[in-house]
Amino acid sequence: MKLDTEKVIEKYKDRIFAIGLSILKNPDDAEDVVQETFLKYHTYKKILNLKNIFNLGYIK
For residue 17, the model assigns a pLDDT of: 98
For residue 6, the model assigns a pLDDT of: 87
* pTM (two decimals): 0.73
Tens digits of residue pLDDT in 12-42: 999 999 999 999 999 999 999 999 999 998 8
Residue 16 near residue 37 (C-beta atoms within 8 A): yes
Does the structure show a pLDDT above 70 at 60? Answer: no
Residues 20, 29: Cα–Cα separation, whole Å? 8
